[in-house]
Amino acid sequence: MTSKGNLYTSYKEGFSKNLEGQFLFDDQGLEITYRELDSETAKLANGLKELGLSEGDRVTVQVSKCIEMLYLYLACVRSNIIFHPLNSAYKEKELSYFLEDAKPSMFISNQETISNIAELNLEHNINNLFTLNDDGSGDFSSIAAKDSDFVTVDCEQEDIAALLYSSGTTGQPKGIMLSHGNIASNAKTLVKTWGFEQSDCLLHALPIYHVHGLFVALGCVLMSGSRLKWHHSFKAEEVLNSIPDCTVMMGVPTYYTRLLKHDALNSKLTEKMRLFISGSAPLLDETFNEFNQRTNHLILERYGMTETNMNTSNPLKGARKAGTVGLPLDDVEVVVVDEENNLLPQGEIGNLQVKGPNVFKGYWGLPEKTKEDFSEDGFFNTGDKGVIDEDGYISIIGRSKDMIISGGLNVYPKEIESLIDKIEGVQESAVIGLNDEDLGEKVVAIIVSSEELTLDEKEVIAEIKNQLAGFKVPKEVKFIKQLPRNAMGKVQKNILRDTFS
């Protein structure tokens, strides 16, 4: 039976030449070959079938980064079941929203979350609940069947492989439907663009609940049959120790600024490395230059987003220009347009739009919103502002969306403002991103409090910390008498940024 449209089939085409070779290893003695990967994911896919899951069902997983999660991702892909990963930092309120919206047939999380699931009062009933704890314990292991033969499901390239949520300027987070074809085409293009070969070894310290660590990093390895060195999370000292074992590293800019703080980072340490790639947030020129001085490597910056996978990249061979995100990938079209969707000439700043096989199928259950974000000629409006230089290189100049990127994670001010506004004593608030040496941008809350009640920074931070994932919690709170507003009554966040930076 053929299964040409299935993403796993494309992955397997890439790694089948190295079936007996190593796929993954770590410093604790873990080693997995491609054959093991193939049979473990087959057992899990058989298990999902025995539990009655069928094509198009959602499987939500909220666990720390672990091999089981990686197996589950591939088992879902093989079964044409939609994989829905969540940041393990999300708190109850955030979690309930995702579970109500995605309506999964299966949810896997740690013991505490699964035990408390009744308290979420979900309207949607989840038939299959499994536990997987940080130490690997839990009944997740009972899902896998004994049979390690599984014929990867034949499906259309258009079928949805994964659902990843991202918020927006207004409203609740939206489920981004990524198809088998979106993920496969992008991974294939990246393998070619970045010259991945079987002899490569990727340093993998990224989380696997986002496009970057899940599709870009894993995709390049699987499609080229190369290896990866697995890190549970990014810890600079551990990553430095792994550099001599690897040939490629992918990271957000914070990874590079943190590595630069260590004297051990030098050209001797990185001599076997052939490529350092950065993305998910802007890489500062000074980071690019300092990294080059210390290691002789020019970090290759690329640009993408959850809705589109990767769009542009500085070249493997050829000039890597600091402050730019490079050229459109081979199969991706990038244009800069004005507010009326008219194409702008080279050198003018405008809205960045993209088109290609990498671009998502739409927002889960939101056809109208999907339509709004695409132009009539099928380009997706990224919400980023950009400009193209005389050599075709693109620079991201800013964002039309009100979004903060902290350590590579997106934070939407509205979500935090609406919680702050509910705190007794708060009249109104504005949440902004201020430059931060470590995180790129840090979340800062500006509050106008009522005269009768005195509030302090600690109280506000504690209140938000109770309700939202840690990366969204303001690092600082400032109190002012009045928010600056324009003639339309809109808060002028640029003035606040200038005042407090």
Taking the complex as a whole, the smallest distance from the CB of residue 16 to ligand MLC amounts, in Å, to: 28
By CB under 6 A, the residues from 302 to 341 that bind ligand AMP are 303-306, 325
Q: How far is the CB of 386 from ligand AMP (least distance, A)?
A: 9
Q: How far is the CB of 279 from ligand AMP (least distance, A)?
A: 5
Calpha distance 112→110 (Å, rounded): 6
Burial pattern 303-341, b for ≥16 Cβ within 10 A else e, equals bbbbbbbbbbbbeeeeebbbebbbbbbeebebbbbeeee
For residue 219, state whether it binds ligand MLC (rule: CB under 6 A): no
With a CB cutoff of 8 Å and minimum separation 6, the contacts of 271 are none
Backbone region of residue 216 per phi and psi (left: phi > 0; alpha: psi in -120 to 50; beta: other values):
alpha
CB of 210 to ligand MLC, least distance (A): 4
In the complex, least distance from residue 408 CB atom to ligand MLC, rounded to whole angstroms: 3
CB of 280 to ligand MLC, least distance (A): 4
> Does residue 471 belong to the site contacting ligand MLC (CB under 6 A)?
yes
Query: Which does residue 471 bind out of ligand AMP, ligand MLC, none, counting CB within 5 to 8 angstroms by kind?
Result: ligand MLC
Q: Which H or E element spans position 404?
A: strand 404-406
The SS3 call for residue 166 is strand
The minimum distance between CB 32 and ligand MLC, in angstroms, equals 22
Classify residue 282 by its DSSP letter.
P
Binding mask 364-383 for ligand AMP (x = CB under 6 A): ------------------x-
Sign of CA dihedral 210, 216, 220, 223: positive
294 SS3 class: helix
In angstroms, rounded to a whole number, what is the distance separating the alpha carbons of residues 465 and 461? Answer: 6
**Residue from 184, 246, 396, 446 in contact with ligand AMP (CB under 6 A):** 396
Least Å distance between CB 437 and ligand MLC?
Answer: 13
Binding to ligand MLC by residue 186, rule CB under 6 A?
no
What CA–CA distance (Å, rounded) separates 231 from 253?
A: 17
| Member of 81, 206, 222, 447 binding ligand MLC (CB under 6 A) | 206
Q: Which is nearer to ligand AMP, 192 or 399 (CB)?
A: 399
CB of 206 to ligand AMP, least distance (A): 12
Q: Which residue is nearest to ligand AMP (CB)?
A: 305
- For residue 239, the minimal CB distance to ligand MLC (Å) is 10
Total site size for ligand MLC, rule CB under 6 A: 22
Q: Which stretch binds ligand MLC (CB under 6 A): 290-298, 304-312, 323-331, 371-379?
A: 304-312
d(CA 22, CA 14): 14
Rounded Cα gap, residues 24 and 41, in angstroms: 14
The answer to whether 287 contacts ligand MLC (rule: CB under 6 A) is no
Which residue type is seen at 378? G
Residues 210-229, interacting with ligand AMP (CB under 6 A): 211
Strands (DSSP E) contained in 160-258 are: 160-166, 174-179, 201-204, 227-230, 248-251
Question: In the window 378-407, what residues touch ligand MLC (CB under 6 A)?
Answer: 406-407
Report, in Å, the least distance between residue 404 CB and ligand MLC: 9
Residue type, 88: S
Q: Which does 301 bind (CB under 5 to 8 A by kind): ligand AMP, ligand MLC, none?
A: ligand AMP
Residues 135-174 that bind ligand AMP (CB under 6 A): 166
Strand order across the beta sheet in which 394-399 lies = 333-337, 350-355, 380-388, 394-399
Q: Which of 85, 304, 326, 386 binds ligand MLC (CB under 6 A)?
A: 304
The label of the residue with tokens 């504690």 reads 462
What is the rounded CA–CA span in Å between residue 458 and residue 295?
41
Are 342 and 335 in contact by the 8 Å Cβ rule? The answer is no
- Given the complex with ligand AMP, which of 14 and 356 has the nearer CB atom? 356
State the Cα–Cα distance between residues 481 and 484, nearest whole angstrom: 10
Distance, CA of 356 to CA of 250 (rounded, Å): 23
Per-residue HEC secondary structure of 426-491 comes to EEEEEEEEEEECCCEEEEEEEEEECCCCCCCHHHHHHHHHHHCCHHHCCCEEEECCCCCECCCCCE
Helices (H), 129-172: none
Residue with tokens 């809350």, as numbered in its chain: 445
Shorter beta-carbon distance to ligand MLC: residue 153 or 177: 177
Q: Decide whether 369 or 399 has the Cβ nearer to ligand AMP.
A: 399
Among 61, 132, 176, 211, binds ligand MLC (CB under 6 A): 211
Residue 207 contacts which entry, ligand AMP, ligand MLC, none (Cβ below 5-8 A, type-dependent): ligand MLC
Is 280 among the residues that bind ligand MLC (CB under 6 A)? yes
Measured distance CA(345)–CA(347) in Å, rounded: 6
Residues in the site for ligand AMP, rule: CB under 6 A?
166, 211, 279-282, 301, 303-306, 325, 382, 384, 396, 399, 405, 410
Residues in the site for ligand MLC, rule: CB under 6 A?
206-207, 210-213, 233-234, 252, 254, 279-280, 304-306, 406-409, 439, 470-471
